[in-house]
Structure 1
Amino acid sequence: MAKSDTDDQSVTFRIPRALKNKINQRAEMKGVRLSEYLRELLTSVVEDRVCQGERERIKELENQTFLSSKEFMQLLVWMYSKREAQKYNKETDYLDDHIKTLKQVGDHVPVDLSKEFDKVLKSLLSIDRDNSYSTYDFIKGYGEKEKFDFEKLEKFLLSKPIKVPNLPPFPLKKTR
């Protein structure tokens, strides 16, 4: 057998028989030799391809968790309620809670929508908490640049399919 012109090196290591059997089975299912299968597998680990799909799945789950969180829902309800009553109310507006939530939004929504939420954050940070006649700039805005685009938010929320977890069937009692 002639030596290859490549600089391929060999690696030898011991593994349990059960693991080797599983690896052999997977190589056979792919229709490749054991060494080819292991070479591809090790290359994908070193090049970080194995974990990329898992990281993307985790990020999507984190986004879904945040977007369906009580804090985010409270923020949205509060924002929509301010379209009607724009004045600051010290007792019911819980600005610190909304500011905390707004600071997290950018990690979970597209950039263009994140910029819209930045308008809300800027408005909340600039509110005069000692003045009960203060109003929120993100509602009316002084020009379209400062006004929150509710339509953009609605398009984002309505464009995503709702993922409902698989639940066991509801047991029905038989009537006699």
Structure 2
Amino acid sequence: MKRDKIVRDHVTINFRIDKALKSRLNSIVSRKNITLSKYLRDVLEEHLSEFERYELPNENQAEDKGELHKEFFQFVIWLYTKKEERKRLESDTIDSYIKLIKRLDGKLPSYVIHELDKVLVDLFRIKSAIGFDGEFYNFPNSPFEEKKLDYKKLEQFFLSADYLTHLE
């Protein structure tokens, strides 16, 4: 495992965690073959970025609505491409799909959110998978109904007259 170079603008933060958490962290970093410091920096950066994006007031909300419509439309097209070809591609932007699904929570009817949660769980599985387990998405045609995306429910939502008002 290669150590990160110390950079002059980096500072040190010390805090205590319990042994079980430390053990879990060590397991993750050894599988990822990175240092604990790098992993924690990445986790903190991702968490802060999400907090700043979704929980702090945003001056550009009107612009964000248009962007949300665009991202959602692209995501739906991606969902339908996975119905035909389940293989994970390098171009699949899993992190952006995860963030989008989180942003949609509360903006769409609960039955649509329930279906998107199935995709979200599968995206997390793919993101953390190692080897063959991360090569194919399960949500398009899982043999388990509770894990399989119901495309008919999505179509029902899109065919409703007021689906765009949900993204406002």
TM range (shorter): 0.5 to 0.7
Counterpart residue number, 1:101: 100
- CA distance in 2 between counterparts of 1:134 and 1:68 reads 28
Contact kept? 1:105, 1:117, Cα under 8 Å: no
Counterpart residue number, 1:54: none
CA displacement 1:118-154 (0-9 Å, x = unmatched):
0000000001265486211111113111110111111
Contact kept? 2:88, 2:135, Cα under 8 Å: yes
Counterpart residue number, 1:76: 76
RMSD of aligned alpha carbons: 2.7
Name the one with the larger helix percent. Answer: 2
- CA distance in 2 between counterparts of 1:153 and 1:109 reads 11
Structure 2 gaps of 5+ residues are: 1-61
- Aligned residues between the structures: 100
Counterpart residue number, 2:144: 143
Say whether 1:126 aligns with 2:125: yes
Say whether 1:159 aligns with 2:160: yes
The structure whose Rg is larger is 1
**Larger RCO, structure (CA 8 Å, separation 6 or more):** 2
CA displacement 1:66-111 (0-9 Å, x = unmatched):
796111111101110001110111x211111111101112221111
Structure 1 gaps of 5+ residues are: 1-61, 164-176
**What is the TM-score when the length of structure 2 is the normalising length?**
0.52
**Matched ranges for 1:57-68 at <5 A:** 65=65
- CA distance in 1 between counterparts of 2:91 and 2:158 reads 26
Of all paired residues, the percent bearing the same amino acid is: 34
**What is the TM-score when the length of structure 1 is the normalising length?**
0.50
* Amino acid aligned to 2:142: G
